[in-house]
Structure 1
Amino acid sequence: MKIWSFAALMVLGLWTGCSEDKNLQHLESKNGFAVISQPAANEKLATFAGGCFWATQEAMLELKGVHKVISGYAGGSMENPNYQQVQTQNTGYAEAVQVYYDPSIISFEALCRAFFYAHDPTQVDGQGADIGTEYRSIAFFRSPEEYHTISRLIHQLENHELKGQTIATEILPFKVIYPAETEHQDYYPQHLWDSYIKKVSMPKVMKLRAKMPEFIKPQYLD
């Protein structure tokens, strides 16, 4: 990735990492990692893996009723993995996000539909040029009802919008998600000038906005 100086970014009007950015979550951190907190009384949790978590975090955070989204690692076996370990493809983990949402505003089904729209669920072990098990598609469930919701949506998408294409998304029971490093949290809004964000992440976010505009928070549609 090309490194830009702060002065150059200011001149170009591309500096987005200031503390006044209304789209930043200001997540808690400890020892260089985000903190996975318990949901509030009016919140429920949902966990998805859909390729690079930079785009998935932003896409989920733009939805009405979503209060917080934390990037992390899910679907593996070792304790407290870090980014470098997950990248070896030896841990079983995928880049994932934990979504904190208000079920009175947005349903689990709507979140799942947004998840499927925000990436390519038909690609096996990767998203575009990001190839590897750490980029695979996973929808995690916490109850039989959530399992049936995911399964029903997959069936609907395969038989209608995807016109017979097979969805490769794994459906797994949720066990644990470990938080990613703080540098991976809110990466999208702070790096809009980054070529990867512009070429890979942004099209995913824009696709979701176009598919579900009625679910997008107003500030993202201005």
Structure 2
Amino acid sequence: MGTKKMEEATFGAGCFWCVEAVFEEVKGIKSAVAGYAGGEIPNPTYRQVSSGQTGHAEVAHITFDPSVISYEQLLEVFWHTHNPTTKNRQGADVGPQYRSTIFYHNEKQKEIAEKSLKKTDRSDLWEDPIVTEIEPLSNYSVAENYHQNYYENNPNAGYCQVVIAPKLKKFRQEFSHLLKDEVKQKQ
């Protein structure tokens, strides 16, 4: 019995709690892990990253099965679930750690991301120009344990109720065709 070849994707789209929560519900996703990428120092702490001084972005590092969901489909979810037109900001979260960024893992992902950005920018999805950065994955590290599965573990926390829950509701409506079966059954 052969093993499935998994691929990886890494996206920064504001607070990693939101990004992780959305991608955890997508079929074909084995895992979405909150972490940091693109900064100046190896293995930063949350306090260091949240200072905005390390150059890291909060990210979700995604492991997915490309026979179930394509990288292009993941990018479609990415474009629709955050505002890629605001530099270093998502809602009330402000700073370079919240920037919209696609960290590519190889040249093929870079090409696909660049085409996807151009196509989305030409569409009527966003009125303002997209400012998402596309950069090679560097200096990635996993965030502290208390950031992992944050929404699942803290659904009644204020941020989860005010920011993540409405985002997930909208996502589930718009992308019901990409939801894992267990998410569909909970609705």
So what's the TM-score if we normalise by structure 2? 0.92
- When residues 145 and 127 of structure 1 are mapped into structure 2, their CA distance, relative to the original with a 3 A threshold, is same
2:41–2:139 Cα contact (<8 Å) kept: no
The runs of at least 4 aligned residues of structure 1 exceeding 4 Å deviation read: none
Identity %: 34
Q: Give, in angstroms, the shift of residue 189 of structure 1.
A: 1.1
Q: Give, in angstroms, the shift of residue 41 of structure 1.
A: 5.4
Match of 1:104 among 63, 67, 77: 67
Match of 2:110 among 143, 147, 150: 147
Gaps of 5+ in 1: 1-39
Q: What secondary structure, in the 3-state scheme, does the structure 1 residue paired with 2:170 have?
A: helix
Q: Distance in 1 between matches of 2:171 and 2:134?
A: 21
Match of 1:198 among 147, 161, 170: 161
The answer on 1:132 being equivalent to 2:101 is: no
Which sits farther off after the overlay, 71-80 or 154-163? 154-163
Q: Distance in 1 between matches of 2:183 and 2:101?
A: 26
Q: Give, in angstroms, the shift of residue 56 of structure 1.
A: 0.5
- Matched letter for residue 70 of structure 1: V
Partner of 2:123: 160
Q: What secondary structure, in the 3-state scheme, does the structure 1 residue paired with 2:162 have?
A: helix
So what's the TM-score if we normalise by structure 1? 0.78
Q: Give, in angstroms, the shift of residue 160 of structure 1.
A: 1.5
1:4-43 residue pairs with structure 2 within 5 A?
42-43=5-6
> Cα deviation per residue 1:184-203 (whole Å; 9 max; x = unaligned)?
00010111111211111222
2:85–2:126 Cα contact (<8 Å) kept: no
Partner of 1:3: none
1:89–1:132 Cα contact (<8 Å) kept: yes
- Matched letter for residue 34 of structure 2: S
Partner of 2:174: 211
1:55–1:202 Cα contact (<8 Å) kept: no
Q: Distance in 2 between matches of 1:176 and 1:142?
A: 12
Partner of 1:44: 7
1:74–1:95 Cα contact (<8 Å) kept: yes
2:88–2:94 Cα contact (<8 Å) kept: yes
Q: Give, in angstroms, the shift of residue 163 of structure 1.
A: 5.2
Q: What secondary structure, in the 3-state scheme, does the structure 2 residue paired with 1:55 have?
A: helix
Q: Distance in 2 between matches of 1:208 and 1:196?
A: 17
- Matched letter for residue 75 of structure 1: G
Gaps of 5+ in 2: none
> Cα deviation per residue 1:29-83 (whole Å; 9 max; x = unaligned)?
xxxxxxxxxxx85211100111111111011110000011110000112011000
The number of residues matched between the two structures is 183
Q: Distance in 1 between matches of 2:146 and 2:159?
A: 15
Q: Distance in 1 between matches of 2:90 and 2:5?
A: 33
- Matched letter for residue 97 of structure 2: E
Q: Distance in 1 between matches of 2:9 and 2:162?
A: 27
Q: CA RMSD in A?
A: 1.5
Q: Give, in angstroms, the shift of residue 143 of structure 1.
A: 2.2
Q: Give, in angstroms, the shift of residue 109 of structure 1.
A: 0.7
Partner of 2:32: 69
Partner of 1:182: 145
